[in-house]
Structure formats: C-alpha cells, structure tokens
Amino acid sequence: MKNGIFISFEGPDGSGKTTQIERLAAFLKEQGYECLITREPGGTAISEAVRGILLDPAYKEMDYMTEAMLYASARAQLVAEVIRPALSEGKAVISDRFVDSSVVYQGIARGLGIDEVYRLNGFAIQGLMPSLTIHLDLSAEEGIRRKKNQAELDRLEQEDISFHAQVTEGYRTLAKLSPDRIHTIDATLPVEVIEERIRALVQEEFGK
C-alpha cells in the first residue's frame, strides 16, 4: 500500500482552489491513490456546525480571538476524525485550506500575529502539516471581481478591499517564509496551465 500524502490548497477567496482540487484528485486516482477531499472550516459534522457560526454574517460582533479559536477547534476535529485516520490508511488527503489560512486571515489580516496563530493551532494539529501546499495567488481586485456575481457573501467575504489586500499580501509573505513547502502559482493563468503546474509539483514532491 502507498503511504498517505497530505496536500493543502491556499489562496484568497475566489482563487479557483475548488476547480484545481477536483482536477488534482482525478489525477491522483489515476495514479492509484484513494483520495479524500476535505474543506476548512468543515469536513466533519462538528466542524461544519462551527463553520455555520464562523461564516454567519449576523455575528458582526465576533472578537478576532474567538474567531481564531473557532477555526482552530473546527480544525482539531477534522484532523482527529478525518485527516489522521485517512493518512494512516494510505490515502491522499487534499484539504481546501489548512493552518496557513488561519495564519493569513487571523494572524496577518486581523493582526493577531503569525507566531501567535501558529502557536494556537499547534494545539489543534499536534504536529501534522501538509508536505505540499499549493498557493493560488490572486489580487484583491480580481478576487472581488470574481465574487461580484455571487448572490450572498459570507461574513469574511463581506470585509472591505483592504482586508482582502492584506490576505493577498499575507499569503505572499507566508510563501516566502516557507519556500520548501508552499508553492505559488498565478491564479489568473488558464485553468489547464495551473493544473499542469500542480501535477508537476506533486510529481516532484511525491515521485508520482
């Protein structure tokens, strides 16, 4: 049996993670992996319930610390209930967002601090990190343009352009801090070009 592999996708809202995750999963299946796709916040009954609280536009008063801890608790449940068991069964796990989202959105854009948010999440993930992280880089303007046709925006999507600009910059900063794990691809490239680059990175990392 193959060893499990853990890949995360990161990037601003609207950067096209979902499309690329589906394409990568199809590719990994062709390579003989059993594939599990999961999303954050969510992926378990408890984590989806926490997601409901986090993204509800009604909770305008949510303190940033509360927000960071709720994301971390949804993650703790996902790691324990889904990701660790799947990896130990040799599956390929692809996560739509992981710890880096908290570091960028809560640590950088909300200003709680990169180290502080990694430390808080250390408790939730107990040392589990993806071997490979695909960062789809997108400007705040393009992200907002892509979301314009969407009927309802969630609590975080309703933030102003300066928040989204900090998210974009935050990801670029983080990618520079972890160049061995986080690989950046321009999200405005054609879908097929991005797909090909991701495959190349996966083959390089996992010899597939």
Q: Which residues bind ligand TYD (CB under 6 A)?
A: 13, 39-41, 55, 71, 96-97, 101-102, 105-106, 154, 156-157
DSSP class of residue 105 equals: I
Q: Which is nearer to ligand TYD, 30 or 63 (CB)?
A: 63
Start-to-end Cα distance in the chain: 14
Q: How far is the CB of 180 from ligand TYD (least distance, A)?
A: 22
Q: Which is nearer to ligand TYD, 31 or 73 (CB)?
A: 73
Instruction: Find the residue with minimal CB distance to ligand TYD.
Output: 105
Q: Which is nearer to ligand TYD, 81 or 154 (CB)?
A: 154
Q: How far is the CB of 39 from ligand TYD (least distance, A)?
A: 6
DSSP-assigned beta bridge partners for residue 184: 135
Q: How far is the CB of 204 from ligand TYD (least distance, A)?
A: 26
Q: Which is nearer to ligand TYD, 4 or 14 (CB)?
A: 14
Q: Is the peptide bond before 179 cis (omega within 30 degrees of 0)?
A: no
Q: Which is nearer to ligand TYD, 159 or 205 (CB)?
A: 159
Q: Tell me the Cα Rg of the chain.
A: 16
Cβ neighbours of residue 190 closer than 8 Å, sequence gap 6 or more: none
Q: How far is the CB of 20 from ligand TYD (least distance, A)?
A: 13
Is the CB of residue 195 less than 8 Å from the CB of residue 187? no
Cβ-based burial of 105 (10 A; exposed 0-12, middle 13-18, buried ≥19)? buried
Helices (H), the chain: 17-30, 45-55, 64-78, 84-88, 99-102, 114-125, 140-147, 161-177, 191-206
Q: How far is the CB of 104 from ligand TYD (least distance, A)?
A: 8
In 3D, which of 112, 85, 82 has the Cα closest to residue 98? 82
Q: Which is nearer to ligand TYD, 33 or 99 (CB)?
A: 99
Q: How far is the CB of 166 from ligand TYD (least distance, A)?
A: 12
